[in-house]
């Protein structure tokens, strides 16, 4: 079974890349793939599937961060959202 995850790279563009809202981005995560998270640009809404980092909150289903195409050179911080669209504080990933 092909996956969207690469052990040497956090995320790879896939055929399932979308420009959808957060709730729909959750459905882009392949079922049965451990440590998968949807990564979504809040500006252009481009969404890919990536591998979850150890510091990502467990409740997070979607991480939002500016993609390279939309990056204006500022230092952007990721935001995390649960499956129902509720924002998850990033520090929950540090409380292990």
Read off the pLDDT of residues 53-94 as tens digits, 9 standing for 90 and up: 888 998 888 999 999 899 988 888 999 998 888 899 988 877
What span, in angstroms and rounded, lies between the C-alpha atoms of 2 and 65? 25
2-20 average pLDDT score: 45
What span, in angstroms and rounded, lies between the C-alpha atoms of 16 and 44? 15
The CA-atom distances, in angstroms, between 41 and each of 59, 83, 87 are 19, 16, 15
Query: Of 12 and 76, which is predicted with more confidence?
Result: 76
Residue that is written with structure tokens 């929950």 in the block:
92
Residue 29 belongs to a domain: yes
Beta-ladder partners of 79: 64
**Average pLDDT value for the chain:** 75
Residue 50 belongs to a domain: yes
Q: Please state the pTM of the whole predicted model.
A: 0.68
Residue 75 belongs to a domain: no
Query: Of 3 and 84, which is predicted with more confidence?
Result: 84
Q: What is the CA 68 to chain-centroid distance, rounded?
A: 14
When divided into structural domains, the chain yields a total of 1
Residue that is written with structure tokens 């990502």 in the block:
56
Token readout for 74 is 């500022």
């Amino acid at each position: 079974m092909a996956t969207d995850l690469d052990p040497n790279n956090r995320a790879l563009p896939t055929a399932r890349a979308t420009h959808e809202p957060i709730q729909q981005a959750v459905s882009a995560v392949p079922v049965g793939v451990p440590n998968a998270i949807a990564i979504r640009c809040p500006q252009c809404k481009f969404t890919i599937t990536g591998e979850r980092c150890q510091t990502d909150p467990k409740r997070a289903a979607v991480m939002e961060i500016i993609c390279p195409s939309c990056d204006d050179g500022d230092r952007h911080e990721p935001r995390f959202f649960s499956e129902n669209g509720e924002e998850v504080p990033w520090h929950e990933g540090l409380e292990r």
